[in-house]
């Protein structure tokens, strides 16, 4: 499975936010997060856990 991972950082004078997406080739979104500076997951634990789950699910036998 070819997955695309997108990450976008938005910064303003007093706020930062990060958007993360995992999208499959058919355009189905498998993961979406919108994080702000107060709840920022710097190590991307949630994203990597979902990505690992998708890789195992679609791993060839």
* pLDDT given at position 56: 87
Q: Is the pTM of this model over 0.95?
A: no
* pLDDT given at position 40: 64
The secondary structure of residue 31, as a DSSP letter, is E
* pLDDT given at position 9: 83
CA 56 to chain centre: 17
* pLDDT given at position 39: 60
Q: Residue 22: which domain range?
A: 4-57
* pLDDT given at position 41: 64
Give the residue among 31, 42, 55 at the shortest CA–CA distance from 9. 42
Domain count of the chain? 1
SS (H, E, C) 6-26: EEEEEECCCCEEEEEEEECCC
Per-residue pLDDT of the chain (61 residues; tens, 9 = 90+): 688 888 888 888 777 788 889 898 899 998 898 876 666 666 778 888 988 998 888 777 6
């Amino acid at each position: 499975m070819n997955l695309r991972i997108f990450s976008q950082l938005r910064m303003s004078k007093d706020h930062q936010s990060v958007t993360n997406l995992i999208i499959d080739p058919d355009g189905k979104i498998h993961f979406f997060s919108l994080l702000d500076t107060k709840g920022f997951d710097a190590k991307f634990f949630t994203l990597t856990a979902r990505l690992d789950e998708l890789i195992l699910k679609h791993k060839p036998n």
